[in-house]
Chains A and B, each alone.
Chain A
Amino acid sequence: MHNKSLAELSASLQSGEISSVELTQHFLERIKRHDSALNSFVTVTEEQALSAARQADQLIATGQAGQLTGIPIAQKDIFCTEGIRTACGSKMLDNFISPYSATVVEKLDTAGMPLLGKLNMDEFAMGSSNETSFYGPVKNPWDLERVPGGSSGGSAAAVAARLAPIATGTDTGGSIRQPASLCGLTGIKPTYGRVSRWGMIAFASSLDQAGVLGHSAADCALVLGAMAGFDAKDSTSIDRETPDYSASLSTPLEGLKIGLPKEYFDEGLDSGVGKVVDTAIERYRTLGAEVIEISLPNTHLAVPAYYVIAPAECSSNLSRFDGVRYGYRCKDPKDLTDMYERSRGEAFGAEVKNRIMIGTYALSAGYYDAYYLKAQKVRRLISDDFKRAFEQVDVIMGPTSPVTAFKIGEKADDPISMYLSDIYTIAVNLAGLPGMSIPAGLVEGLPAGLQLIGNAFEEGKLLNIAHQFQQVTDWHLQSPAAFA
């Protein structure tokens, strides 16, 4: 049951072959059985899930069901869920029961998807390995000694281990695509503004975007379609109709122009991963695509610019966690300053503090022009690189991550090496473009992903291109043996 696609599950539910309660129960049992090894869930919402499943069964029985009705989902713990703890991977919010739900959560509720629980993540989404979580690291189902990637590491591990059919994630610099790559999943980060940020706890507001991690492009297309759309509560969401992503999946790729940025195939790329990517590109040729080498000359500036802009925004976004109104407050503060210092000092983890410090510094008087302003200029240059490229090609392809899953603890003391995990994904966020990662092969038994980058609002085209690949390959159907 847990290896079926969403379309197959939907058909089984509609035909009465299984009920939503049975399906939900099945995944809840898998979570119970397997998650102690993975640590992918921080909260399991069994009661709510079963109650929602019963409602879904009624809708199905009365013919009022949509395609997703009755299929359970798990939410990254960055999305506020009414009445359920929303901790964002942090001690700061360990006691925070959200009084409201994120738009994404409401939309998927409305679509009839029972919520299995909340997924582990790097603290406030800051990390590429899921090691910064207050709730402990998540293990990669393909190798329990390795990281699942981050920050949506819980989402990736849970779906890869078939503890949930699909899960939401968020992506600020690669946080959907990189864990999808490391766990052998299909993950999509849509165009900035496509999915509402209301109720999604902000890390770097101008970069954060919600998306989905699943087994296939077809699965992602269904759920992304239900999540996307304009929201008056988010001033940066875009008032543009959401296309039917499933309808365009079958468009043939004859004549498709694929751009390969030479900067994405540099010495930092692991040779095994490089081979997987080359093979995938070859496969696209056989599907009728034309491959063109392109240049994104400012690629090398993406990581430095990102590590100014994202920390700058996070240093401000995280100021609200002050111990005054909700969240962690230190014991017996002796005065206001003591309360601020100890509440924040005791509840934020090291990586979050790092970034707050970097961001505060970058915005300080006398440094603003040299750092923040310059980073914004670089951001425009990077955006222009992509604009020029899309005059030439329909899609850009390359590796998602330079390496496969690394060992837990391996990069924990080397932040620069950790930051370079996102070297190929970060530019996409800076430009606000849609990006995907699809499973393209295994390197020494570990999954490696192919990244697809599209022009603004062309997530439909990306899903189509990914789906066509998945029609002729079966990397997306492979699962880690221990969780088959």
Chain B
Amino acid sequence: MAWETVIGLEIHAQLATRSKIFSGASTAYGAAPNTQACAVDLALPGVLPVLNREAVRMAVKFGLALDADIPQRSVFARKNYFYPDLPQGYQISQFDQPIVARGHLDITLENGETRQIGVTRAHLEQDAGKSLHEDFHGLTGIDLNRAGTPLLEIVSEPELRSAKEAVAYMKKMHALVQYLEICDGNMAEGSFRCDANVSVRPVGQVEFGTRAEIKNLNSFRFIERAINYEVERQIDLIEAGGEVVQETRLYDPDKGETRSMRSKEEANDYRYFPCPDLLPVEISTALLDEVRQTLPELPDEKKQRFMAEFSLSEKDATELSANREIAEYFEVVAQGCGEAKMAANWVMGELSAHLNKADIPIAECPVSAKTLTVLIQRITDKTISGKIAKDVFVELWSGESDVDAIIDSKGLKQITDSSAIEAMIAEVLENNPSQVEQFRAGKEKLMGFFVGQVMKASKGKANPGQVNEILRRLLNS
């Protein structure tokens, strides 16, 4: 039987506010345990929450970027359950009146096709603290630094049809929140993570199958693997005559499998009700207008502009616009050197490769956009060849900053003197008489061999165009 996969994602994006959503304590990551938890975060008797207006603005900004409905009024509700790292005994969240209602996001699939994914809602809530089970001799340690950190929970419609689509959606959302500067997107620190609701159904069936929720996926790779594993597990189960049960599952990245955490029967009744300590949030048109003014150019707009302005292919434009900082870097280089295609190749090629290898974001890139611009200009003005430029780039990466100084001190300037090149070629031909003979007998593939030899003799500095031209002339004479 052919199966169709149905996936809905719940993304938790930690909002980049300086203080917590309902208290003045800092949200900075990595402080000593419980040093960033004030009376409100500790839920002392008698304390009260006060809403951080910045978190509201960020949620509104997100809603505007998704072209979503933003209701005039939204309500905070208490989600009641006991857990040691949940100091109040309830999480302040939003239930039936979220701050962002229905919106959508376009994703581009690997085959170039674009799909619109519905976003059901996005709501504000507070994060819990952390329970630490190691190093306490059988006891549990509680760190409440994270308690009260603002989260935006973004819920998609069950419209994703494969792990790859889920990853494409997640990546697009990841880029978007960073474009909007509402989330640092740091997945390793848990600033951007998701739960995936996964079910399968026979192709053609309208009703959804029973779903399992995979909790806390914090890397694109894990999302893809976890979903693929889960889909296979469900299909195997059904085909063997079993039934999928509605439950919460955890992905174990070491074993590459999902495991049952709790079933629906064990699920909490959260007893949601409006939080009486907080007034409903009123969103005025004035606030909407004000926040709209702060919206940056969004990834899709940027992609379209890159295609129009720089004549980039859709693929290149998509890749370059996915990350705001990379897009901005590219644009500086493209405008500076006037060769957008070359700029694109360099940014997606050498630069990305070095960044990936060093595992650093572009913000920490040792080669500035201006420096890369100069380097490309030295290729276009024929001072150096593209190949030599890669060597220069390596020097730049390791800390040098003056392109021309590197070219001068290392004597990398391209040889464009025809007589000098001709002399080098003559020497190469003289040293390889049998290959010359074969070439002249029709084995034209040997052209590459000769070019290689000449470049080697010139230490890569001979102008490749001239080498080709002169070689052809001398060999055919």
State whether the Cβ of B353 lies closer than 8 Å to any Cβ in chain A.
no
The segment from A67-75, A98-106, A181-189, A434-442 found at the interface with B is A98-106
- Whether the Cβ atoms of B45 and A88 lie closer than 8 Å is yes
Complex: chain B residue closest to A96, CB-CB? B45
Cross-interface CB contact of A364 among B82, B87, B89, B269, cutoff 8 Å: B269
B365 located at the interface, meaning its Cβ lies under 8 Å from any Cβ of chain A in the complex: no
Q: Which segment, of B152-160, B275-283, B338-346, B382-390, faces chain A?
A: B275-283
Given A201-B46, A363-B80, A363-B272, output 11 extra A-B contacts at Cβ < 8 Å.
Answer: A98-B46, A100-B44, A199-B46, A206-B276, A236-B277, A319-B80, A319-B90, A320-B45, A322-B82, A322-B89, A363-B273
Contact across chains for A320 and B89 when beta carbons are under 8 A apart: yes
A93 within 8 Å of B (CB atoms) = yes
Residues of B within 8 A of A320 (CB): 43, 45, 87-89
B379 in the interface, Cβ–Cβ < 8 Å? no
From known contacts A206-B276, A363-B80, infer whether A319 and B44 are also in contact, taking CB-CB under 8 Å.
no
B48: Cβ under 8 A from any A Cβ: yes
Nearest A residue to B24, CB-CB: A233
In the complex, residue of chain A having the shortest beta-carbon distance to the beta carbon of B88:
A320
Q: State which of B42, B46, B140, B271 has its C-beta within 8 Å of the C-beta of A316.
A: B271
1/0 per residue, CB under 8 A from B, across A225-242: the answer is 000000011111000000
Task: State which of B45, B87, B89, B271 has its C-beta within 8 Å of the C-beta of A93.
Answer: B45
Query: Provided the pairs A232-B50, A322-B82, A363-B80 are in contact, do residues A316 and B45 lie with their beta carbons within 8 angstroms?
Result: no
Which of A99, A232, A315, A316 lies in contact with B39, CB distance below 8 A?
A99
Instruction: Determine whether the beta carbon of A80 is less than 8 Å from that of B142.
Output: no
Instruction: Answer whether residue B84 sits at the interface, using C-beta atoms and an 8 A cutoff.
Output: yes
| B180 interfacial by beta-carbon distance below 8 Å | no
Assembly CA distance A368 to B77 (angstroms)? 14
Establish whether residues B271 and A364, one from each chain, have CB atoms under 8 Å apart when the complex forms: yes
Interface positions of A from 177 to 219, Cβ below 8 Å from B = 197-202, 204-206
Contact A235 B271 (CB under 8 A): no
> Is the pair A100, B39 in contact by a Cβ cutoff of 8 Å?
yes
Task: Check if B237 is an interface residue, CB within 8 A of chain A.
Answer: no
Cα distance, A326 to B89, chains bound together (Å): 13
A188 to B279, CA, bound (A): 25
Interface string of B52-94 (1 = CB under 8 A from A): 0000000000000000000000000010101010011110000
Say if the beta carbon of B47 comes within 8 Å of chain A.
Answer: yes
| Contact call B39/A201, Cβ cutoff below 8 A | no
- Name the distance in Å between A169's Cβ and chain B's nearest Cβ: 16
Tell me which residues across on chain B come within 8 A of A326, comparing CB atoms. 44
Select B47's contact among A198, A232, A363, beta carbons within 8 Å.
A198
- Rounded to whole Å, the gap between the CB of A317 and the closest CB of chain B is 9
Q: Is the CB of B48 within 8 A of A234?
A: yes
Q: Point out the residues of chain A lying under 8 angstroms from B269, CB to CB.
A: 364-365
Name B115-151 residues within 8 Å CB distance of A: 140, 142
Contacts known (A99-B39, A322-B89, A363-B271); A86 close to B50, Cβ less than 8 A: no
| A198→B43 CA distance, assembly (Å) | 12
B45 touches A360 (CB 8 A): no
Residues of chain B at interface, number, CB under 8 A: 29
Query: What are 23 A-to-B residue pairs whose CB atoms are below 8 Å?
Result: A80-B46, A99-B39, A102-B46, A197-B48, A200-B46, A202-B45, A202-B46, A235-B48, A235-B278, A235-B279, A236-B276, A236-B279, A315-B271, A316-B78, A316-B80, A319-B80, A320-B87, A322-B89, A325-B42, A326-B44, A363-B80, A363-B272, A368-B272
Contact residues in A for B278 (Cβ distance below 8 Å) = 235-236
Q: Which residue, of A100, A235, A318, A368, has the highest number of chain B Cβ atoms within 10 A? A: A235
What is the CA–CA distance of A239 and B46 in the complex, to the nearest angstrom?
20
Given known pairs A233-B48, A234-B48, A235-B51, the reply for A340 and B82 (CB within 8 Å) is yes
Q: Which residue of A has the minimal Cβ distance to B89?
A: A319
Does A99 contact B44, Cβ atoms closer than 8 Å? yes
Instruction: Closest A residue to B131 by CB, please name it.
Output: A336
Q: Which of A86, A198, A313 contacts B48 (CB 8 A)?
A: A198
Question: Interface residues of A toward B: which range?
Answer: 35 or more
Task: Tell me, yes or no, whether B49 is within 8 Å of chain A by CB.
Answer: yes
Q: Which residue of B lies closest to A79 (CB)?
A: B46
Q: Tell whether A393 is near chain B: CB-to-CB under 8 Å.
A: no
- Residue of B at shortest CB range from A366? B269
Q: How far is the CB of B217 from chain A (nearest CB, A)?
A: 26
A313 to B78, CA, bound (A): 10
Contact indicator B45/A336 (Cβ below 8 Å): no
Contacts of A99 in B (CB 8 A): 39, 44
Q: A284: shortest Cβ distance to chain B, in Å?
A: 36
- Chain B residues contacting A206 (CB-CB under 8 Å) are 276
Q: What are the 4 closest A-B residue pairs judged by CB atoms, nearest first? A: A319-B89, A363-B271, A205-B276, A206-B276
> A96 to chain B: which residues have CB within 8 Å?
45
Bound form: Cα–Cα A206–B185 in Å? 38
Assembled-state Cα–Cα distance A8/B273 (Å): 49
Choose among A199, A205, A233, A318 the residue that contacts B50 (Cβ–Cβ < 8 A). A233
Contact B46 A198 (CB under 8 A): yes
Query: In the complex the two chains form, is B273's CB within 8 Å of A316's CB?
Result: yes
Find out whether the CB atom of B87 lies under 8 angstroms from the CB atom of A86: no
Contact B273 A372 (CB under 8 A): yes
For the complex, give the distance between the alpha carbons of A316 and B90 in Å. Answer: 7
Find chain A residues with CB under 8 A from B89 CB.
Answer: 316, 318-320, 322
When A100-B39, A235-B51, A316-B271 are in contact, do A324 and B45 touch as well, CB less than 8 Å? no
Cα distance A234–B277 when bound, in Å?
8
A residues within 8 A CB of B46?
79-80, 86, 98, 102, 197-202
Residue A312 interfacial (CB < 8 Å): yes
Write the chain A residue with the least CB distance to B49.
A235
B87 and A325 contact, CB distance less than 8 A: yes
A263 shortest CB reach to chain B, Å = 27
Q: Which of the residues B45, B50, B279 comes within 8 Å of A201, measured between beta carbons?
A: B45
Set B39, B50, B84: member contacting A235, Cβ < 8 A:
B50
In A398-413, the 8 Å CB interface with B consists of: none
Shortest CB-to-CB span from A102 to chain B, Å, is 6
Chain A residues, Cβ within 8 Å of B87: 320, 324-325
**Interface contact B82-A86, CB-CB below 8 Å:** no
Q: CB within 8 Å of A: which of B272-321?
A: 272-273, 276-279
Q: Which residues of B contact A80 (CB under 8 A)?
A: 44-46
Please, what's the 1-or-0 string for A58-95, where 1 marks a CB less than 8 Å from any CB in chain B?
00000000000000000000011000001010000100
B306 to chain A, nearest CB (A): 45
A320 and B39 CA atoms in complex are apart in Å by 13
Min CB distance, B107 to chain A, in Å?
35
A336 in contact with B84 (CB, 8 Å): yes
B78 nearest CB neighbor, chain A only: A316
**Which A residues are CB-close (under 8 A) to B142?**
324-325
Determine how close the nearest CB of chain B comes to the CB of A444; give it in whole angstroms.
40
**What distance in Å separates the Cβ of A204 from its nearest Cβ neighbour in chain B?**
8
Q: Is the CB of B84 within 8 A of A324?
A: yes
Complex: chain B residue closest to A87, CB-CB: B45
User: Which chain A residues in 233-263 approach chain B with CB under 8 Å?
Assistant: 233-236
Bound-state Cα–Cα, A233 to B48, Å = 7
A327 to chain B: closest residue by CB: B45
Q: Which residues of A contact B51 (CB under 8 A)?
A: 235
Closest chain A CB from B86 CB (angstroms): 9
**Chain A residues closer than 8 Å to B276, beta-carbon distance:** 204-206, 236, 313
Chain B residues in 8 Å Cβ range of A232: 50
| Contact string against B for A residues 365-390, beta-carbon threshold 8 Å, 1 for contact and 0 otherwise | 10010001000000000000000000
Residue pair A98, B44 in contact (C-beta under 8 Å): yes
**Shortest distance between the CB of B129 and any CB in chain A (Å):** 10
Structural contact, A319 and B88, CB atoms closer than 8 A: yes
CB distance from A343 to the nearest CB of B (A): 11
Are A325 and B43 in contact, CB atoms less than 8 angstroms apart? Answer: yes
Q: Could you tell me the distance between the alpha carbons of A266 and B25 in the complex, rounded to whole angstroms?
A: 53
Min Cβ gap A99→B in Å is 7
A314 to B: closest C-beta gap in Å = 11
Minimum CB–CB distance for A208 against chain B, Å: 9
Taken together as a complex, chains A and B put the C-alpha atoms of A469 and B44 apart, in Å, by 42
Please indicate the chain A residues that have their CB under 8 angstroms from the CB of B272 in the complex.
Answer: 363, 368
- What mask results when residues 251 to 277 of chain B are scored 1 for a CB within 8 Å of chain A, else 0? 000000000000000000101110011
